[in-house]
């Protein structure tokens, strides 16, 4: 192994998922590219999204108490990136995609995306430069073509990944093993060794 180097503190998550957050702002549908996102509570299912306070999308969420999270496929990279470049303040992004609705108007969703989450705002946290909006997932929508055995299949969804500050998009690669299972071999080995000693 090499020597550890201190590389400063402005470091991002490697890699980030890429989503399009849908809102209504001043009565118009808007979409913004968001990579700062996590599942934040197990039960009920909450999603958290981090957004700079100046963004037009932040205004929409605060005004209407809801948002959608849409996962674009890799072949949507051009339109996805476009939604991260131009602000809804300056350009109308409402016609870029086919829009559909679930339970309420505050969460416009993108038909072309393999996965859509419809979220009701539960809590807004304010940090120095960003909001963290926490939404309860009210419903999620997909299509038969993205499921295998009734479950979402990432190899069919083909979502995008993002790295910063090199600002690059990536696809998902190969299957690397079963979670909560691959590590069991280590547990068994350890157990065996302990029994031997």
Min separation Cβ 26 and its own copies, Å: 21
Min separation Cβ 33 and its own copies, Å: 8
Among residues 181 and 196, whose Cβ is nearest to its own copies?
A: 181
Among residues 26 and 184, whose Cβ is nearest to its own copies?
A: 184
Q: Cβ contacts of residue 172 below 8 Å, gap of 6+?
A: 154, 155, 158, 159, 161
Among residues 62 and 140, whose Cβ is nearest to its own copies?
A: 140
Min separation Cβ 60 and its own copies, Å: 20
Min separation Cβ 117 and its own copies, Å: 6
Min separation Cβ 64 and its own copies, Å: 19
- d(Cα 120, Cα 16) in Å, to the nearest integer? 23
Among residues 10 and 27, whose Cβ is nearest to its own copies?
A: 10
Q: Which residues of 112-133 are buried (b: 16+ CB within 10 A; e: fewer)?
A: bbbbbbbbebbeeeeeeebbbb
CA 148: distance to chain centroid?
Answer: 21
Min separation Cβ 48 and its own copies, Å: 7
CA distances from 51 to 45, 62, 84, 133, 174 (A): 20, 12, 12, 8, 31
Among residues 129 and 197, whose Cβ is nearest to its own copies?
A: 129
- d(Cα 186, Cα 182) in Å, to the nearest integer? 8
Q: How many CB atoms lie within 10 A of CB 5?
A: 6
- d(Cα 77, Cα 72) in Å, to the nearest integer? 8
- d(Cα 172, Cα 81) in Å, to the nearest integer? 17
Among residues 25 and 115, whose Cβ is nearest to its own copies?
A: 115
């Amino acid at each position: 192994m090499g020597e550890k180097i201190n590389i400063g503190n402005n470091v991002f998550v490697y890699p980030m998922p890429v989503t399009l957050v849908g809102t209504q702002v001043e009565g118009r549908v808007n979409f913004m590219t968001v990579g700062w996102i996590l599942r934040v509570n197990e039960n009920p299912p909450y999603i958290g999204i981090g957004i700079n306070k100046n963004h037009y999308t932040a205004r929409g969420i605060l005004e209407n108490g809801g948002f959608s999270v849409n996962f674009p496929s890799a072949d949507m990279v051009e339109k996805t990136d476009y939604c991260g470049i131009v602000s809804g303040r300056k350009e109308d992004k409402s016609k870029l995609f086919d829009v559909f609705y679930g339970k309420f108007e505050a969460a416009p969703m993108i038909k072309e995306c393999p996965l859509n989450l419809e979220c009701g705002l539960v809590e807004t946290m304010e940090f120095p430069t960003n909001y963290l909006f926490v939404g309860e997932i009210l419903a999620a929508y997909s299509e038969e073509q993205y499921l295998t055995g009734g479950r979402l299949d990432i190899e069919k969804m083909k979502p995008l990944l993002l790295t910063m500050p090199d600002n690059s998009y990536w696809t998902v690669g190969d299957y690397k093993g079963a979670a909560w299972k691959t590590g069991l071999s280590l547990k068994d080995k350890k157990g065996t060794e302990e029994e031997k000693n």
